[in-house]
Amino acid sequence: MTPAPIAVALDAPDLDTAARWAGLVTPHVSTVKVGLELYLRYGPDVIASVRGASGVKVFLDLKLHDIPNTVSGAAKAVARLRPSILTVHAAGGPAMIRAAVEAAPHTQIAAVTVLTSLAEDDLGRIGLIGPAPDAVRRLAALSVAAGATALVCSPHEVGAVRAEVGDGITLITPGVRPAGAALQDQARVATPEQALADGADLLVIGRPITGSPDPGATAAAIAASLRRTSHA
């Protein structure tokens, strides 16, 4: 069975837990995601630990956001780990995004547009001209023009972003919650089935899987539901 287009966010407090989650979900999903919590605690070793022997893709979510020279150095430092995807903040601007793209030629650079934890009301407070789909589309266009081949946005904007950037760009959506699941700190959310139907290529799902009593079974159930929906 082809693994589902899901990146499980391994936001674990320790390496053993992250490696255990990775082992449980990798038969069912294409990708596991290492974020700031794990990387800042354990550094580069974490990549090999979660990759294991399975060959699952590893998405390194460091959301780099600094001047181009600094981001170039940081992207170069992690490029040798060969993550399949590395995130940068689109708000860092075109030169910063270009610097990451050039520093990590074998890794897909994903530009994070507007965090899925932000609600419409928050945008003005951080100086973004909304509504969210407009802000996301602007940041998406700027990022792709700067060489990013992947974008992170909420499922709410994925259709508008697809229309803006076309088919060649990988659209990644966090803010995914199975029907009835708690939103926690996410604001702009949809179900996995809806996100995929609206055009997402890769769904980032963390706590609904890793916080469940059986992460392997939960990942398998979401993967099966996505397969049913995409064949319906």
Binding mask 170-209 for ligand OMP (x = CB under 6 A): ----xx--------x-x-----------------xxxx--
Q: Measured from the CB of residue 148, what is the shortest distance to ligand OMP in angstroms? A: 13
Q: How far is the CB of 204 from ligand OMP (least distance, A)?
A: 4
* Residue 175 beta carbon to ligand OMP: minimum distance, rounded to whole angstroms: 6
152 lies in the binding site for ligand OMP (CB under 6 A): yes
CA-to-CA distance for 98 and 196, rounded, in angstroms? 28
Q: 53 vs 210, which CB is nearer to ligand OMP? A: 210
Please say if 76 is a catalytic residue: no
CB of 172 closer than 8 Å to CB of 205: no
| Helix extents (H) in the chain | 15-25, 36-42, 45-51, 68-79, 94-103, 120-125, 132-145, 158-165, 192-197, 207-210, 215-231
Contact 43, 33 (CB under 8 A): no
Which residues have CB under 8 Å from 118's CB, separation 6+? 126, 132, 187, 188
Residue 2 is labelled as binding a ligand = no
Q: Does 26 sit near ligand OMP (CB under 6 A)?
A: no
* 12 contacts 32 by C-beta, under 8 angstroms: no
Which residue among 6, 9, 34, 220 contacts ligand OMP (CB under 6 A)? 9
Nearest to 109 by CA among 44, 56, 63: 63
Q: Is the peptide bond before 215 cis (omega within 30 degrees of 0)?
A: no
Minimum gap (Å) between residue 206 Cβ and ligand OMP: 3
Distance CA 223, CA 206 (A): 14
Q: State the number of binding residues for ligand OMP (CB under 6 A).
A: 18
Single out the catalytic residue among 49, 54, 63, 142.
63
Instruction: Tell whether residue 139 is a contact of ligand OMP (CB under 6 A).
Output: no
**63 versus 138: smaller Cβ distance to ligand OMP:** 63
Binding region for ligand OMP (CB under 6 A) out of 111-119, 127-135, 160-168, 222-230: 111-119
For residue 231, what are the contacts with CB-CB under 8 A and spacing of at least 6?
none
Q: By C-alpha distance, which of 108, 100, 111 is closest to 141?
A: 111
Active site residues: 63
Annotated binding site for substrate: 11, 33, 61-70, 116, 177, 186, 206-207
Annotated binding site: 11, 33, 61-70, 116, 177, 186, 206-207
Binding site for ligand OMP (CB under 6 A): 9, 11, 35, 61, 63, 87, 112, 115-116, 152, 174-175, 184, 186, 204-207
